[in-house]
Structure 1
Amino acid sequence: MGKIKVIELFAGVGGFRLGLEKKGKFNVVWSNQWEPSTKTQHASMVYEARFGAENHSNHDISEVSTAEIPDADLLVGGFPCQDYSVATTLQNSKGLIGKKGVLWWSIHRILSEKKQPIKYLFLENVDRLLKSPSAQRGRDFAIMLKSLDELGYAVEWRVINAADYGMPQRRRRIFFLGYHKTTATFQQIKKAHIEDWVESLGTIAQAFPVDELQNKPVNFNLSDDLVTISDQFNKGEKLSPFQNSGVFINGKVYTVKTTPALKENGTVLKDILQNGEVSDDFYIPEEEYAKWEYLKGAKKEVRTAKSGFTYNYSEGNMVFPDALDNASRTIITGEGGKSPSRFKHVVQTKKGLRRLTPVELERLNMFPDNHTRLEGISDTKRAFFMGNALVVGVVEKISEALYERINS
């Protein structure tokens, strides 16, 4: 098989594409990026500047007709964790409707309407997906799995912390791969001992090895229809049944906790710093040190809400400044800007304390330097992009293993 054709949804500034296309084995034939809450589509502007405007859509995906999207072998995207619940409509007892604006249902619609099935899926989300919402732990993931089952897909998943595999940032995300029933991989999963698939045979295990399975796997069926799962799944239970790894095929869930195989020393925060190239803007004035120290420190204090209600507030302390000999903490969207904050990274240098630069944040996600640099895009916006992005190295390794599997 030549290059694998890819549709990239929720493309952001192109993290998935960078990881997929690095070795020249995948070709993104159509992409979509739409930010509903902003007038200026900054992420899409960066995407077009780096990859070209051809075959790139900057429209609300829920309003893009499936006919506009070319056929492809693989659909990828990092979609947001939202409320996936469903309801039946009175007019159409068969018609299941997810909430409007919930982007999972846009993926579902495209998969269901494509005349030529998309054979492979490669998706990413925050690991909270496995245990949301709090009233029915794991319901959203169960709905997702069941809806893919109905479309003819098997799924394997794993929560991966990039730093566990030598990458420069501690960023935990769930990655899952879907295989349509027309693929050889679907048949391989069907025949395999599922424990072996999770531990060593699976695509994700090939890319990111795990230790031998220590604890007992959990097996259960998702035999109810989507509406029943939406209403009843795991009601009243404190814990989600879904562990950090698993496989789902033909209505059966197999899930187990895995631990990463020990890695060699990886990239740490000091390895990505722009030494001696940083403008004064990023240095924190000494008179602000106390404010930063307070925000980063442990607190036990009585606070008063706007309503006048008083309550005890407590939080632990953050490492301040950030440890240079470890992978960095997770980048969040509020990383940019000068104002003191509990969550922004601060590093100690010879010249004093400073925040991280946009290039350093890009390096923590394994993007090329200045990938997000563009006229009209502020440093704060560039930091926001990286808070939303994924670690490119994770995509690269999984996509290499997926390519090998498709071509084996």
Structure 2
Amino acid sequence: MKKLKVIELFAGVGGFRLGLEQTGAYEIVWSNQWEPSTKTQHASMVYEARFGAKNHSNTSIEDVLTDQIPDADILVGGFPCQDYSVATTLQNSKGLLGKKGVLWWSIHRILSEKKHPPKYLFLENVDRLLKSPAAQRGRDFAVMLQSLDDLGYAVEWRVINAADYGMPQRRRRVFLLGYHKTSGVYNGLQDSDPKEWLGASGTVASAFPVGALIELQKTFTLGQDLVRLSEQFNIGEKLSPFQNTGICINGQVFTAKTHAQFDGKRTLLGDVLAHGQVPPEFYITPEDLEKWAYLKGAKKEVRTAKSGFSYNYSEGRMQFPDALDKPSRTIITGEGGKSPSRFKHVVQTSKGLRRLIPLELERLNMFPDHHTYLAGISDAKRAFFMGNALVVGVVERLGKSLCEKIIKNP
């Protein structure tokens, strides 16, 4: 089989590309990475250094014309979690226009304007997507599903915690696979029992098995009018109707709660530690230790806001130092830098307490060693990249499973 051609959006430092290329079944034919809040495009610099500048775009995707993007079999990307409300009436020619700066609508625009749209989608986001916004739980996801349904795509999703399947980091993300109605996989899904697809035979379940028990099953139909859906979906309800697993096909949603099933080898935080030379600035100095301990500790105290208002503040204790015999906590974008923090990782070594070095953060996301190392890129920026990245092993396994499904359903 020829390699599947891929468009990679919101590419970061190339996590999607690494995972897909490791399967041997995919070829990235065009990529885009743009960081709106910074003048120097550090992530794009790393991407070009690792994969070359050919067919790579470092321009805001909102400014890239659809005809500048080549046709491909699959569109992938970890798009930003934003407010996906539909801001206009349905009188304009496109049917809808989302707010400028909301990058979901850039994906939608590319799919809607392509004469030959990609047959498959592979997207990633934070699991909060399934229940945002707070005032209308699940609305953003409902708008996404309905807009993809309008464009002819069925969608399968699952919230996957990488550590549940033996990977070194507890990182929960929602992964979405889209199948265009002209694809064989769409037909395979349409002919399947939803519970069987989600619990055993589907693309995600084949890569990441779940226990036979599927709880909180729910079936419902999305509204056809995106504006009305945006304004009225789930109003007055406290919980999102979307569980951690589901499919949407022909406007019909089937969703349920599943539990990971895995009895293989587990990778722990201690397994990724580098035992070579660690720069001295990563070690916690005796004078900073008290501040670290305070930030990591439990608190019950009265605090005063800038307005002068006093309030009771409390939070639980964080493990300090981090446990080496468990998968690591989630890396966040603020992981870098010397300043004491509640959320940065700290490990106990024979030479003392220290923060994690960029190499170890790369390993927690299953990137190659030194992937983000480049002249002019600080350690803090490298940590920021990994806080934004995904776990490459999850992409690789889903990519392999998708390829197998395509071969079985030509």
Aligned partners of 2:89 and 2:227 also within 8 Å: no
> 1:327-338 maps to which residues of 2 (within 5 A)?
327-338=327-338
CA distance in 2, matches of 1:91, 1:10: 30
Q: Which residue of 2 aligns with 1:74?
A: 74
Report the CA distance between 1:175 and its aligned residue: 0.2
Q: Which residue of 2 aligns with 1:319?
A: 319
Q: Which residue of 1 aligns with 2:354?
A: 354
Report the CA distance between 1:94 and its aligned residue: 6.1
1:14 aligns with 2:20: no
1:155 aligns with 2:155: yes
1:42 aligns with 2:42: yes
Counterpart code for 2:245: S
Report the CA distance between 1:90 and its aligned residue: 8.4
Aligned partners of 1:88 and 1:94 also within 8 Å: no
Q: Which residue of 2 aligns with 1:25?
A: 25
Unaligned runs of 5+ in 2: none
Report the CA distance between 1:397 and its aligned residue: 0.2
Report the CA distance between 1:213 and its aligned residue: 2.4
Residues 1:91 and 1:112: Cα distance change in structure 2 (over 3 Å): closer
> 1:161-172 maps to which residues of 2 (within 5 A)?
161-172=161-172
Aligned partners of 1:164 and 1:263 also within 8 Å: no
Map Cα deviations across residues 229-278 of structure 1 (whole Å, 9 max, x no partner): 10000001100000000010000000000000133231000000001321
Aligned partners of 2:85 and 2:140 also within 8 Å: yes
Residues 1:216 and 1:37: Cα distance change in structure 2 (over 3 Å): closer
Report the CA distance between 1:279 and its aligned residue: 1.6
Map Cα deviations across residues 103-160 of structure 1 (whole Å, 9 max, x no partner): 0000000000110121000000000000000000000000000000000000000000
Report the CA distance between 1:16 and its aligned residue: 0.2
Counterpart code for 2:286: E
Counterpart code for 1:24: G
Q: Which residue of 2 aligns with 1:241?
A: 241
Map Cα deviations across residues 327-381 of structure 1 (whole Å, 9 max, x no partner): 0000000000000000000000111100000000000000000000001000000
Residues 1:89 and 1:237: Cα distance change in structure 2 (over 3 Å): closer
Q: Which residue of 2 aligns with 1:391?
A: 391
Counterpart code for 1:276: G
Report the CA distance between 1:188 and its aligned residue: 1.0
Q: Which residue of 1 aligns with 2:297?
A: 297
Q: Which residue of 1 aligns with 2:382?
A: 382
Counterpart code for 2:69: I
Q: Which residue of 1 aligns with 2:276?
A: 276
CA distance in 2, matches of 1:24, 1:221: 38
Map Cα deviations across residues 283-330 of structure 1 (whole Å, 9 max, x no partner): 110121111000000000000011111111110000000000000000
CA distance in 2, matches of 1:216, 1:328: 29
Aligned partners of 2:90 and 2:96 also within 8 Å: no
Aligned partners of 2:304 and 2:310 also within 8 Å: yes
Counterpart code for 1:342: R
Equivalenced residues, count: 408
Unaligned runs of 5+ in 1: none
CA distance in 1, matches of 2:187, 2:406: 13
SS at match of 1:292: helix
CA distance in 2, matches of 1:262, 1:101: 40
SS at match of 2:87: strand
Map Cα deviations across residues 27-84 of structure 1 (whole Å, 9 max, x no partner): 0000000000000000000000000000000000011000000000000000011000
CA distance in 2, matches of 1:271, 1:303: 40
CA distance in 2, matches of 1:355, 1:58: 32
CA RMSD across the alignment? 1.1
More divergent stretch after superposition (129-138 vs 260-269): 260-269
Counterpart code for 1:128: R
Q: Which residue of 1 aligns with 2:53?
A: 53
Report the CA distance between 1:23 and its aligned residue: 2.8
Aligned partners of 1:334 and 1:384 also within 8 Å: yes
CA distance in 2, matches of 1:126, 1:91: 32
1:137 aligns with 2:141: no
Q: Which residue of 2 aligns with 1:373?
A: 373
Report the CA distance between 1:405 and its aligned residue: 0.8
Report the CA distance between 1:216 and its aligned residue: 4.2
Residues 1:332 and 1:216: Cα distance change in structure 2 (over 3 Å): closer
Report the CA distance between 1:25 and its aligned residue: 1.1
Residues 1:398 and 1:94: Cα distance change in structure 2 (over 3 Å): closer
Aligned partners of 1:335 and 1:387 also within 8 Å: yes
CA distance in 2, matches of 1:291, 1:95: 55
> 1:211-226 maps to which residues of 2 (within 5 A)?
211-226=211-226
Report the CA distance between 1:214 and its aligned residue: 3.7
CA distance in 1, matches of 2:48, 2:81: 25
Aligned partners of 1:81 and 1:126 also within 8 Å: yes
CA distance in 2, matches of 1:278, 1:323: 19
Q: Which residue of 1 aligns with 2:400?
A: 400
